[in-house]
Each structure stands twice: as structure tokens, then as C-alpha cells.
Amino acid sequence: MPIEFIFTEPEQVRCMKIKVPVVIAESETQVVVDTTFCLPELAKKVDHIDVMVQGLEADPVFVHENESTWSISMSKKWPHQFEAVHAGSAFVKKIIVHGILHKQIYYVNQEDTVKHVGEDIPFTKTIELREPEPVLDVDDVEIQFHGSKADVTWDLVRASRLQQTGVIIVKTKVVEQRQIFVQVCPSPEKCPKGVNVLRDPCFEQWIGNTPLLWGATNVFRAAGRNGGFGAGLGLDPTLPAAVFQTTRRVMPGNVYRFCFWAQRLQILPPNCDFTLEAMISFFDAESNLVDTVTQSWDDTQVPTTFRQFCLDTGPVSETVSYALVRVALQVDPNATPPNNCQVVVDDASLMCVGGF
């Protein structure tokens, strides 16, 4: 069993000392108990015998060896793990298990009456480990039992003499309570301020006229804010267009704000007849719609220079698993004259602004 691991963290970490049970060795052993029992009266037969194991206890047997005695075999199995083991350290070599095999014997006497009588048989078994296992402190070592089974066969040799053979299966673990250091991290913020949970919010990643990390319909790559790219809604301005994205980085109870920048593009002669719509939809783990928040602006409210638009939600439902955000250009395909204005969307964000 490794006692010490050597490793180097690339960055400073926060650690805490805890005490945990470390399994040193484990085994499964069989104990056979042969007994002869005299019934309190003459019997015609034994109907059945109920058995159970009671009072299971175990004592570890320790040996103290010089380091040189064990160094060869240890170095093959656990190299560089025994800096803490020194001359005179303790090793678990065997386990002495003892307990009681309790029986309830049901028999039929000469008057054809079913009676029962109890019998307790103490037993002891010494378990030799395959090889001694090192421990740091003998006072912190304990033996745990993980299930035991028992069965018995019998033969009524005479009318009152019962020959029995009991078989007991015992599973043991040698456990040492050790103090170790573990790396800990702070609890995650339920509402981290200033964290945008959307991917590629600036629409910089494209494949042709499709933004890589966004879903899109009737969209083209356009010039965005600050010299970057933006999502142009209305490759064909006479048809509806939209960009949308799902995110699982939302938490129940929080309040979210969805913001984006948008500007209107006009084709001469200008005929703007559209509605710009923002939407946030929340879904549970089974993809059932839990809540939807929408807000719309008509074409006169979207200027020809970039302006920020925002949409706030209420506290998110406790069943929410993920959210869908969408910005859409709504037009009437049958309008006369048709819409010939486009909208460029850039720098989108979905952030927690309170709640929980």
C-alpha cells in the first residue's frame, strides 16, 4: 500500500489535512467448526438448524523488522513510496479472528412435538497475509468485517446425539486511519459577476456565411464593431433571419441579462419594414420549455450606428437545466414593397446579474 506520493504542482494550491481510512490488506477466509451436541431429550429427527455469526472480532498481529530485511521486495512493488518507513517500523503480518457461531436447533421429540434448543460455539481463526503490510501507527489500525456467511450440515447419530459441521465465510479488511493532505477549491459562485456564459460572443469564428459556434438562418458575415466581424441578419432581407445559441452555464434562482449590439444596414432606396426580436428560453433536463422572455424593437428603434440592446429575466426556475438565446429579424415576406434593410449583430453576452 503506498504510503507517500511525490509530485510537484505547477501552481500554488490550497490544501487541507484530513483523516481517512486506508485499506492496508483484505482477505476472505473459511472457518470449519465440527461439534457434537447432545439434545436435552430423545429425538426422532432434526427438522432444521438456523445459524448466524455473532460477536465477530479480530486482532492484528504486528512485527517489527529492520528496513534492510524488506527493502528488496518493497522496491519492486512500490518504488519511491517508502521514505516514511524507517528501521523498526511496524508491519501487519496476520489477523486473529474470533467470534461465536450461534445455532437454533429445531427437532421432533418422541411425542412428535417440534422443539428447539440453542447452542453457541466459539471459534478462532488465524489469517496469514500473503506478505507483511507496513503501517504508520499501530494505534490507528483496525479490522473491519464486510459480510459473513454461515451454513451447517448435521447427522443425528443417535436419538440424542447430533454431529454437526459448520462452515463460516468471513471477509476482513485491515484499515489504518491516516492523516493526509488533499487539495481543496473554493465553492463555485452561484452568480459570478462579469462572466459571459456565451461562446464566441463577438462572432469571430466563421465557416463561409455560418458562425461556427452559433446556429444561424439567413445570415452572412458582416463588418462588426471595433474592426471585427458581426452576424448580418437578412442575407435575403425579404426573409426572416436569426442567430441562436444554447448554454448549460445557467443556475436556478439567478437573474440573467442578455445584451447585444446592433445596427441597421440600408440598401438604396431604403425601405425598412422589420422587427428586431430578442428571446431567452429556459428548458429543464427533459427539454421541456420552462420559461421564455422576449422583447422587440421596430425598425425605427434600430439606428444606423451600433447601439446596445438588453433583455432581463426574472429569477430562473429551480428545474432549469439550460438556456437558449436568440436574436431574430422578423419581416413579412409578402410585404409590398418588400423590406430591403439588414441588421448586424455583434458582442452578445448573457450574464448573471443577481438572484439566488
* Secondary structure E strands in 39-113: 43-64, 90-109
Whether the CB-CB separation of 192 and 47 falls below 8 Å is answered with no
Determine the pLDDT at residue 10: 62
Q: Which of 187, 155, 177, 151 is nearest to 166 (CA)?
A: 151
Determine the pLDDT at residue 76: 36
Which contiguous run of DSSP H or E holds residue 13? Answer: none
Spatial separation of the C-alpha atoms in residues 356 and 351, rounded to whole Å: 14
The pLDDT profile of the chain, 356 residues, written as one tens digit per residue, is 455 556 666 666 778 889 999 898 888 889 999 999 998 899 889 999 999 999 999 888 888 765 444 433 333 333 444 444 444 578 888 999 999 999 999 999 988 899 989 999 999 999 888 888 888 888 889 899 988 899 999 998 888 888 999 999 999 999 999 888 888 877 677 888 889 999 999 999 999 889 999 999 999 999 999 889 999 999 999 999 999 999 999 999 999 999 999 999 987 788 999 999 999 999 999 999 999 999 999 999 999 999 999 999 999 999 999 999 999 999 999 888 999 999 999 999 999 998 76
1 in helix, strand or coil?
Answer: coil
pTM: 0.53
Question: Virtual CA dihedral for 185, 186, 192, 194, nearest 10 degrees?
Answer: -70
The separation between the first and the last C-alpha atoms of the chain, rounded to the nearest angstrom, is 45
Q: Which of 319, 321, 316 is nearest to 292 (CA)?
A: 316
CATH number attached to the domain at 206-355: 2.60.120.260
Determine the pLDDT at residue 185: 76
Q: Which residues pair with 57 in a beta bridge?
A: 98
> Residue 112: left (phi > 0), alpha (psi -120 to 50), or beta?
left
Determine the pLDDT at residue 90: 84
Domains in the chain: boundaries: 14-34+52-98+123-184, 206-355
Strand 215-217 relative to strand 241-247, pairing: antiparallel
Spatial separation of the C-alpha atoms in residues 114 and 316, rounded to whole Å: 68
φ, ψ at 87 (rounded to 5°) = -55, 135
Determine the pLDDT at residue 66: 57
Q: Give the cell for residue 250.
A: 445557467
